[in-house]
A and B are shown apart, each in its own frame.
Chain A
């Protein structure tokens, strides 16, 4: 313990390897198509950022989808007004979400606990409803904000003549659909992981944990908690804006439904499922939910009949009947049951399950020195 080994390069390399090889190791799970992989990377960023607020400071925001939406709108506007290059789009997405988070956080963080949650929920619902009503000139209301042939796109049009169809988003000429889009999101995710890890291991991160643990003590310890929580709020808002702009990068349209409270609730579920306050737990939670949403929901009776074909006739139809409640349209039921099981039996989420497994296999002997090392086992 004395001479502290620098684990950072190793952690980064391992993480990058896992992320970049996702198209390969997700093949057996039937989840290796670019559209879903992009979502895995994007929602991992969203959940990771959310966890910087919720996991470290304990402030539970119920309005983070608003920042996701702002990021998407800002990115699409950047595509419409300036260029189809994704770099400015991401920049604007993150910047606008950051400014928005600063304003909402400044007001909401005057309260803590349930009052803070309600305030953020109120702000997000307000944004959602405004997007449908008075802000229609900016958001294009129910139709959603889309690219059109009449868009000025001043930077692109100054250098090239527009083609006949709608242009594609690109990174200096590389189209951002399909696998290139995934790899772009993956690289951004790796950068986000690096940033998050640094925050977790900094005195700043330690202070945020202190706020979660005992805010009263913080004051008598000489620390002004307000700027700390506000910084965490803005950082996590910017992560959400980044995720939102990446959604627009992979599919250049933005709709108000992205800001709805169910979307805010989803990121809470992701974080709790994966493990609140752990480095990679929220990402695992995001993957689990996106997997269920995309794969489980696509199962139908025929898949099930095939799956249960080893059973005798009567039993098979019964099993199919029963299982069909949990797949297809019913995937929310699976999610609900899973969520309850995890909250009841593994309050620390998937990461706690992982830690328990590690402890069991490493044996009782080394138990005493374990806790410090086991905090971030997957690094």
Chain B
């Protein structure tokens, strides 16, 4: 295990029935880096993220976050440790306003997994409200803050979900195709936003198909194919790796 590793996935196996979704997956994400995971469809990328956030338990192997083994942690405990996740299909509070959507995670970070103060007033939570407005401004949604989240376009929902994660100032941010379904313009904005987060020192794991996004963000890339990590390294190393080219061209058909 590397000294400054934030996330360490150690020998993780996961099968669904006869299908081996993940086998022998070993991954080290170093602090402050952006680690991209690429690979053809069905390679097990989303399963890997699901294992990291406690949605799926591995058949064997461990996930270690900041020195803590996450074997028996529920999703909310993992989030409280400092892991936030953006989903492939946006998971937002569709019936609530954008501001409320961002305030709920902010309360979760400040007050913990359960806090019973039924008589304290939202009106008095000026600090959280301001922070929520600022975070919405960061992702470019501040003008819509009083709109119902369900009425947003797909791309805006993604940005809202990103804001919901960012307001928690997670130590580790997991992004599952954060720019899928976005226009080129919105994609570039999101990439710029993710770059500024990098300057703040947040560690990120990103699953992405758009190679333009991957190569403009990633410090390190791991390639997943048929549940195995077939290559890991800097973007330049990955570009020249023949196994990767084979997986992408040969594995897709």
Contacts and interface: CB of A to CB of B under 8 A. Distances in A.
Interface of A: 4, 6, 198-199, 201-207, 209-210, 212-214, 216-225, 227-228, 231, 235, 371-372
* Chain A CB within 10 Å, residue with most, of B115, B118, B123, B125: B118
Contacts of B103: 203, 206
Q: Considering the complex of A and B, which 3 residue pairs feature the smallest CB-CB distances, nearest first?
A: A222-B79, A219-B75, A213-B93
A201 B148 CA distance: 17
Contacts of A209: 93, 95-96, 100
5 contacts: A198-B119, A205-B118, A214-B93, A220-B91, A235-B118
Interface stretch (B28-36, B64-72, B104-112, B216-224): B104-112
B62 interface: no
Interface in B80-107: 80, 84-85, 87, 91-97, 100, 103-105, 107
Contacts of B111: 203
Contact of A231 (B97, B116, B148, B168): B116
Provide the main secondary structure of the chain A interface.
helix
A221 to B, nearest CB: 5
Nearest to A204: B118
A220 B125 contact: no
B76 interface: yes
B76 A224 contact: yes
A203 B120 contact: yes
B76 A223 contact: yes
Contacts of B120: 202-204
Contact of A206 (B80, B112, B116, B122): B122
Nearest to B120: A202
Given A198-B118, A202-B118, A203-B111, A222 B93 contact: no
Given A198-B121, A202-B119, 20 more contacts: A6-B123, A201-B123, A203-B125, A206-B96, A206-B103, A209-B93, A210-B93, A210-B104, A214-B94, A216-B91, A219-B76, A219-B79, A220-B75, A221-B168, A222-B80, A223-B76, A223-B104, A224-B74, A227-B114, A371-B148
B85 to A, nearest CB: 5
Contact of A221 (B79, B94, B116): B79
B56 interface: no
B123 A214 contact: no
Nearest to B170: A222
Contacts of A217: 91-93
Nearest to A58: B95
B113 interface: yes
B79 A220 contact: yes
Contact of B113 (A4, A6, A223, A371): A223
Given A210-B104, A222-B108, A202 B121 contact: yes
Contacts of B214: none
B164 interface: yes
B105 A222 contact: yes
A212 B66 CA distance: 33
B104 A221 contact: yes
* Chain B CB within 10 Å, residue with most, of A220, A224, A231, A372: A220
